[in-house]
Amino acid sequence: MSYMNKTEFSFLCLPKWPAMFVYGKPVSEELAIEIILRTDSFMYSGSGGNNKEFNEAAVKVLGIPDPYEFMEEELDLKVSIINKAIENKEDVTELNKKRSTLHRLQLIAKLEHEIYLDKLGYLKDLSYINNNWMSSAFVFGPHGWIHPDGKIGYVDNIGKNPDPYEIYEEWELVAKEFPELDLKVSVLNCESGEINEVNSRVAFTLEVKSGQVNILNENPTIDWLANNVTAGRVNNLNIWQSLSHECYWNISEIENKILPIMNKVMSRRLKYLTER
């Protein structure tokens, strides 16, 4: 198998929302869940879909800190102090003391969030290849390139305006953290809804294997990708009936299945961080 050099790669151009196909060998269910925990957007922010009741319960079970816990209260107080100072209505010394306390609490909240991300080993530098299984507002429900059962499969646009090197570097981060992965990534020169256009083609294909990423010299055809790669989405057209379609797991499953794996990951990561 031959590989493209990075000089050639640097001349490639992509559209605003290029389609990305991901396909490869399945992994164990436990590894898949670990990858999701460390790459799912919800695990960073505690937000995703519109099912607020689920989001709040999941955040509580998983112990996801809120880095903005005191921000709104501090900003409101800041506006109040400015208004009172302008109007000369009262002494704002005590209000400034309270605001200073809120500011310190906000800094502590951000620090707690960073510590949590480090303990989890969350890949916070991903912008284009995050997973969205925990809670997703996507019209077709939860999705991602790694599936909760370990299968690999993704067909969707990424963006906006990604540079080929940015995509390469993000997959490089993933490859280094999960050397067990054996998959390929084909990025098109068009959006997923334009694959039947005359000039549509695969812009480049990455091989993610054994902890490394290589740029392949040869690309599969769009016809091959369309016939062999599936997104594997879990919901049907009845999704409009309930917000439950936004969450792959229910709270009971998160408590009994996801949390134990998360604790195992964090315990292993904590040992790694202390021995570093």
Q: Which has more pLDDT, 94 or 162?
A: 162
For the ranges 36-40, 98-102, 253-257, which has the lowest average pLDDT?
98-102
Contact 132, 154 (CB under 8 A): no
Residue 96 has pLDDT above 90, yes or no: no
Q: Which has more pLDDT, 241 or 138?
A: 138
Q: What is the pLDDT of residue 238?
A: 45
Nearest in space to 145 (alpha carbons), one of 122, 129, 161, 157: 129
| 14 strand-pairing partners | none
Q: Which residue intervals of the chain are DSSP H helices? A: 6-9, 29-39, 41-45, 52-62, 71-87, 93-120, 164-177, 222-228, 251-253, 259-275
CA dihedral over 266, 33, 182, 229, signed as positive or negative:
negative
Q: How far is CA 246 from CA 39, 183, 238, 258, in A?
A: 17, 27, 12, 17
Number of DSSP helices (H) and strands (E) in the chain, helices first: 10, 5
For the ranges 40-44, 75-79, 86-90, which has the lowest average pLDDT?
86-90
Residue 72 has pLDDT above 70, yes or no: no
Tokens read off for 229:
């790669």
Q: What is the pLDDT of residue 240?
A: 43
DSSP 167: H
Secondary structure (3-state) at 209:
strand
The 10s digit of each residue's pLDDT in 127-166 is 999 999 999 988 778 999 999 999 999 999 998 999 999 9
Q: Which has more pLDDT, 270 or 19?
A: 19
**pTM to 2 decimal places:** 0.87
Mean pLDDT value of segment 71-92:
63
Mean pLDDT value of segment 216-228:
94
Residue 258 has pLDDT above 80, yes or no: yes
Q: What is the pLDDT of residue 234?
A: 54
Mean pLDDT value of segment 51-66:
93
The radius of gyration of the chain's CA atoms, rounded to the nearest angstrom, is: 22
